[in-house]
Structure 1
Amino acid sequence: MLGVLVLAQIGYPLTGGTDRARLTVVTVCLGYLLSVSHALLSRGPRVAAGLVLVTTGGGLAVEALGVATGVPFGGYAYSGELGPKLAGVPLVIPLAWTWMAWPAWLAAARLTRRRAGRVALAAVGLAGWDLFLDPQMVAEGYWSWRDPSPALPGVPDVPVSNYLGWLLFAVLLMALLGPVAGRAAGLAGDRDAPMYALYLWTYAGSVLAHAVFLGLPASAGWGGLAMAAVAGPLAVTLARRRRPRRSDAEPAAAPA
């Protein structure tokens, strides 16, 4: 499933118009199924159900609140290109919260055992993704802001309030997800490798796509800096784990 998701994302710059919108919906659904099925297979039905309740249900609730009131992201509205809506929110949007919340949580759990540290790192890991997501989706016309100022340099169509709102809600989301996932979040070993790969691919693929294929160099830079706070340490940690110890890699010296 991870391989199919990667192929779908590679296809994004090669499409346009209605085909690109449909591919976006398919990609989000694949990411959602990947994260939920991983939680189910690696942690069991209780954790998978809790993941859906917290992130999908929470994502729908905060998006509906945002569309209706402008809190916490700022005033925005969705176009009709992403399919059917509920309370002004395309049904696919809450799935995206789950898609990246789970690998962000597992990445943070791999990096620290402290509860507060996990919540903080996971929140940054999830909110950092939005510095890629929002500029890309706004450029496609999937949603727009009523007053996109003040904005980050080079990204004039998305207000800073949106990123702050993402970070605030991500902290709440991860604080709620922690008790659901339990201590086992950092103890699954190689079973979590697909989620680490998903997070690192999302980071590297997004930088490349924005910088080279989508004509969004500023969001490539901002998103690259933000997600690197988690992606960088995660990559280093995984590389160290895979590196063989000297005693394992070299034969023992012959006796004198």
Structure 2
Amino acid sequence: MTTAVAARTWRPAAGQLLPLLLAGALVLTAIAYPLTSGDARDAVSWTIVVLGSLLSVVHAGLSRGARTAAGLLLLVAVAAIAFESIGLATGFPYGSYEYSDVLGPTLLGVPFLVPLAWLMMAWPSWVLADRLVRPVRPERRRPARIAWAAGIFAAWDVVLDPQMVQAGYWTWAHPDPGLPGIDTVPLTNLAGWSFAGLVLMTLLDRLAARSPAPPRIGDAAPLLALGWMTLGGALAHAGWLGLPGSAAWGGALGAAVLVVLAVQHRRASRR
């Protein structure tokens, strides 16, 4: 009997450990990004994206089952290639841009790294949105979750896109007008990410709704990755990368979410 109880308590802990290890490795690798340059920085970028995408799939599988993990991988890959290939060919919905050869092999003009980056961003965005809508009435929870997830997905790119342009991974044909303080990325990109995010998160929400409830493990790992890539990224932009505009936006957006979470926690603790 003691052995059975120990097994039941160990399995969740063991299941939580792997995502946390991946999140920790992601954070450490992200710290190395502003401290490197040239080919070493390119290798760090690839490592960050691979770790982030692996974290998303592993956490989805351990928390909501293998079918959810497989569906997440397929859904994000198809959505990323579809939106990005259309964007490259037509300029819709992001604006006119092109990738450099640094990112390596492509499919329909889309570097393999790009769907992995979408995967890294999409799942933590949905997980955070799921947490943010817990106080919302059940009948309003799904549209609120989709809206939050799409907004977080787009906001994350506000920090990442100027960094990637600075690294030479892609360039915009018409970067103006942009957000105040960001003169290398057009506002059309934010609009495009918001639109793509709404489509992707609507589909992802339906996928996650079919998974077992409640989740089998907690969401600390994807939230740690999301928090560090946003707030830690803002710190790197301000202190090392010379990107004060995106640093300010990243700090403001990250702080806004933290305030919402703090208010929710305070209200819940009063009940």
TM-score range, shorter chain: 0.7 to 0.9
How many equivalent residue pairs? 244
8 Å CA contact retained: 1:109, 1:185: no
Q: Is residue 2:43 matched to residue 1:22?
A: yes
2:157 pairs with one of 99, 124, 130: 130
TM-score normalised by the chain length of structure 2: 0.83
Residue by residue over 1:116-150, the C-alpha shift from the partner in whole angstroms, topping out at 9 and shown as x without a partner, is 10000011111001111111100111100111121
* Distance change >3 Å, CA 235–CA 202, structure 1 → 2: farther
Give the structure 2 partner of residue 251 of structure 1.
Answer: none
Deviation above 6 Å: which 4+ runs of structure 1?
Answer: 238-241
Give the deviation of 1:153 after TM superposition: 2.4
Give the structure 2 partner of residue 168 of structure 1.
Answer: 195
* Distance change >3 Å, CA 149–CA 53, structure 1 → 2: same
* Distance change >3 Å, CA 52–CA 45, structure 1 → 2: same
Residue by residue over 1:164-209, the C-alpha shift from the partner in whole angstroms, topping out at 9 and shown as x without a partner, is 1001110111011111001769833752121222222222201211
Residue by residue over 1:78-105, the C-alpha shift from the partner in whole angstroms, topping out at 9 and shown as x without a partner, is 0011221111111011111111111110
Amino acid aligned to 1:130:
D
Give the structure 2 partner of residue 211 of structure 1.
Answer: 238
Q: Is residue 2:261 matched to residue 1:222?
A: no
* Distance change >3 Å, CA 236–CA 204, structure 1 → 2: farther
RMSD between aligned residues: 2.3
Structure 1 unpaired stretches of 5+:
246-256
Paired with 2:225 and 2:196, the residues of 1 have a C-alpha distance of: 22
Paired with 2:28 and 2:150, the residues of 1 have a C-alpha distance of: 27
Paired with 2:265 and 2:225, the residues of 1 have a C-alpha distance of: 13
- What does 1:107-122 correspond to in 2, within 5 Å? 107-113=128-134, 114-122=141-149
- Secondary structure of the structure 2 residue equivalent to 1:81: helix
Give the deviation of 1:46 after TM superposition: 1.1
Paired with 2:67 and 2:152, the residues of 1 have a C-alpha distance of: 24
Amino acid aligned to 2:122:
A
TM-score normalised by the chain length of structure 1: 0.88
Give the structure 1 partner of residue 25 of structure 2.
Answer: 4
Paired with 1:110 and 1:11, the residues of 2 have a C-alpha distance of: 30
Q: Is residue 2:56 matched to residue 1:35?
A: yes
